[in-house]
């Protein structure tokens, strides 16, 4: 912020992960709460024209209504990571109202692809099958997720840069929340089957019960994203995992 002058901030950095938020919540306070506060302060001071910030589908918590819509309740988080992301949304709204910042909160749904996080299920499963290790399938593999390929997510963000939110009716805020994810939901069992076919290897499985803090199913309603940007997700899970595994195998050779 000191060195460069720019109009738009896209803030994607955070301490992510459900399990680690149970083990070490203080890291989430430092990165996700204090860290995001610093972003807001700098955006205010530099009069940034549009802040686009990463939130998460985990804010929907124990909400049973599927697909998730931006208007659904999000005041029942079931893990601390989700609580920090919901807090970010509230912090952002207050700064938008008080200081006239235009802010778009993007609720991402299970983003995957090349160079993805090694702690994500698709990456861990691929890595363990490749290395002939047992994979742990929580909830016996019956979770469902809106797996969202990285290229589609990035294209959505790029489309949103110039789509500043309109002013709200009941406040001075220029603020919007958008789901960004594939509107097709797929089970972990299906994901496992796709990975096995691509690697041409069978997995060794441990079927385990639901983990503390895990959301059973997610499914994105992206009607608002389509209305604002006109963008439709193009990459299905078969194609996306083919691309990821091609990258993974090449990465392992280096």
Task: List per-residue pLDDT tens for the chain, 254 residues long.
Answer: 999 999 999 999 999 988 889 899 999 999 999 999 999 999 999 999 999 999 999 999 988 899 999 999 999 999 999 999 999 999 999 999 999 999 999 999 999 999 999 999 999 999 999 999 999 888 777 788 999 999 999 999 999 999 999 999 889 999 999 999 999 999 999 999 999 999 999 998 888 877 776 777 889 999 999 999 999 999 999 999 999 999 999 999 87
pTM for this model (two decimals): 0.94
What is the CB neighbour count within 10 angstroms for residue 81? 25
Q: Alpha-carbon distance 87 to 135, whole Å? A: 33
Tell me the two tokens of residue 13. Answer: 């950095």
Rg (the chain; Cα; Å): 19
Contacts of 193 (CB under 8 A, 6+ apart): none
Catalytic residue among 28, 60, 68, 81: 81
Active site residue 60: no
Burial class (CB in 10 A: 0-12, 13-18, 19+), 99: middle
Q: Alpha-carbon distance 18 to 113, whole Å? A: 19
């Amino acid at each position: 912020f000191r060195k460069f002058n720019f109009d738009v901030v896209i803030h994607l950095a955070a301490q992510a992960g459900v399990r680690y938020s149970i083990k070490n919540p203080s890291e989430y306070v430092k990165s996700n709460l204090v860290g995001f506060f610093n972003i807001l302060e700098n955006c205010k001071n530099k009069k940034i024209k549009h802040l686009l910030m990463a939130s998460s589908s985990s804010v929907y918590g124990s909400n049973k209504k599927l697909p998730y819509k931006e208007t659904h309740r999000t005041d029942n988080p079931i893990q601390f990571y989700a609580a920090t992301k919901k807090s970010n949304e509230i912090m952002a709204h207050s700064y938008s109202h008080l200081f006239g910042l235009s802010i778009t909160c993007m609720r991402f749904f299970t983003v995957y692809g090349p160079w993805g996080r090694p702690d994500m299920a698709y990456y861990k499963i691929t890595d363990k099958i490749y290395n002939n290790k047992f994979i742990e399938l929580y909830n016996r593999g019956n979770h469902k997720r809106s797996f969202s390929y990285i290229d589609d997510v990035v294209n959505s963000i790029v489309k949103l840069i110039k789509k500043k939110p309109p002013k709200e009716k009941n406040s001075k805020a220029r603020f919007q929340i958008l789901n960004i994810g594939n509107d097709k939901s797929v089970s972990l069992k299906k994901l496992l089957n796709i990975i096995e076919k691509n690697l041409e290897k069978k997995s060794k499985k441990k079927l385990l019960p639901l983990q503390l803090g895990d959301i059973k199913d997610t499914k994105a309603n992206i009607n608002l994203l389509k209305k604002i940007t006109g963008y439709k997700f193009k990459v299905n899970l078969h194609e996306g995992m083919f691309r990821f595994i091609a990258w993974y195998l090449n990465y392992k050779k280096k």
